[in-house]
Structure formats: structure tokens, C-alpha cells
Amino acid sequence: MHEFTLNGISLGLPAGLATPEILGKLADGTYEADEARSAERCVREGMRVLELGAGIGYVTALCARRAGPENVLSVEANPALLPVIEDNLARNGLPGVTLIHGAVTGPVAPDAMADFAVSTGYTGSSLDGKGKAVKVPLVSVHDLIWAHKPHVVLMDVEGAEAEMFNRPWKCPLRFCVMELHPRKYHPRTIKKIVDFMSAMDLTYDPVTSRGKILGFRKVWGAGEDPDALMGDAPAGPEE
């Protein structure tokens, strides 16, 4: 077991999942640095957080530490990472995070399964990637949003984000931060994402954006307290 501490978060990584590149980033503090920076800038106490693509649970733990574990719902497709995430949350005293196994996409049929390609060292694993294929449940982003009603959505799903913006999200969304994967889709898909966020009254957020990490925040006026905008989503199921 390799052990590291990043931003006060204790992390363990089994040797079988480690690659020299991952170990190097964990050692020098650059592992998921942009994602961690974004999470620490938008997650606040009491906010409900939906994390799509939990990895080894580093950003999960940061969100749980700030928002409270009971407010965090995280989804991870790679079954080998689920016990790692649980262990890393436990070693930081953050029980209570809801962890779901599945690959998140757009609308899906009930009990749908798909091949998920697990790459060496786990980073880069995806529904359309290369690597050992394992069967995983498909999870609809719309069902997750309806169930959790997040104020913050964080996603790193290796291109699956292209399928998630085909109908409105009914939730009190205040921030959305995602890693884009422009090699996996046409620039029009990025425009579709930006237009979708704009239609939800969210705008580009330079504070949480960096490189391929694209952040959006709710549009609030000068002098408005964003905490006062934290309300519940409208009642009733999505259409």
C-alpha cells in the first residue's frame, strides 16, 4: 500500500493500481490538483454535491470535509476503486458519503449494463476506451440529479459528459465543474454544453476553470450572497 497526504487528506493506493505516473503526481502534489482547487473554491458547508467519477476518493474527501459527508453523492464505474474510496474516506474520518457503482451517462433503460474499459493504473478508464472490459451498471445523470438535487456537480467521466446535456437538470445548481475531453467529440458538443449551462442561468466561472477544467456558476448580482440562493429543487419528477 502506497500512502500520501494531499491538502490534509490521507490517501492510500494499493500497489496493484499504482503506475509510476500516478505515484509521481501523488508524491509531488499535482494529482488532480486542478479538480481539487475547483472543489475547494465552490463547495461550501451544507451544499449537496454530486461527484461523477470519484477515482480514489481524493476530491470526494475534500468535498465531504467541506460540505459534510451526508451531503456528498459520488459515483465510480471502476469496481476495483470502490474499496479504495471507502478506505480513504474512513481514514479521514468521513463516513456517510453515498457511493454508487456505475457509469454515468444520459437517459438509460432500467437495469442497463455496459462494457467499461479499465485502463492500466485506472486513470483514463471509460465506456469507449481501451483496456480490460468489465460489465458495469449504467446510471442516468438525470436520475441522480432528481434524487440528490445538488448545488454542486463535479464530473470527470472521460467523455461521457457529451451525453448528459440533452434535457434540463431540475436542481438548485450553483456550480458545475467538469473536465472536458475535446479529442472525444466535436467542438459543437462543447458549444452544446456551454449553451445548456447558459439556459440554466449559469455562466463561465474563471475561478474554477483551468485548462481542460471548465467551471460554471449561477449568475447572481453584485452584493448578492450566493448562500441565500441555496433552495430546494421544484417538486415533482422530471418529464
pLDDT digits (tens, 9 = 90+) for 153-172: 999 887 778 888 988 898 99
Residues 30 and 113: beta-carbon distance below 8 Å: no
Residues 87 and 101: beta-carbon distance below 8 Å: no
Using one digit for the tens of pLDDT, what is the confidence trace for 189-238?
999 999 999 999 999 999 999 988 999 999 976 555 555 545 444 333 34
User: Any idea of the CA torsion for 18, 16, 160, 142, to the nearest 10 degrees?
Assistant: -110
The one-character DSSP state at 55 is: T
User: Any idea of the CA torsion for 210, 214, 218, 220, to the nearest 10 degrees?
Assistant: 30
Highest-pLDDT range among 2-6, 104-108, 230-234: 2-6
Q: Is 122's pLDDT higher than 90?
A: no
Residues 66 and 52: beta-carbon distance below 8 Å: no
The confidence score (pLDDT) of residue 221 equals 61
Q: Where are the alpha helices (DSSP H) in the chain?
A: 20-28, 33-42, 58-67, 82-91, 141-148, 187-199
Q: What is the CA radius of gyration of the chain?
A: 17
The confidence score (pLDDT) of residue 20 equals 87
For the chain, the average pLDDT equals 88
Domain ranges of the chain: 32-224
Q: Was domain 32-224 assigned CATH 3.40.50.150?
A: yes
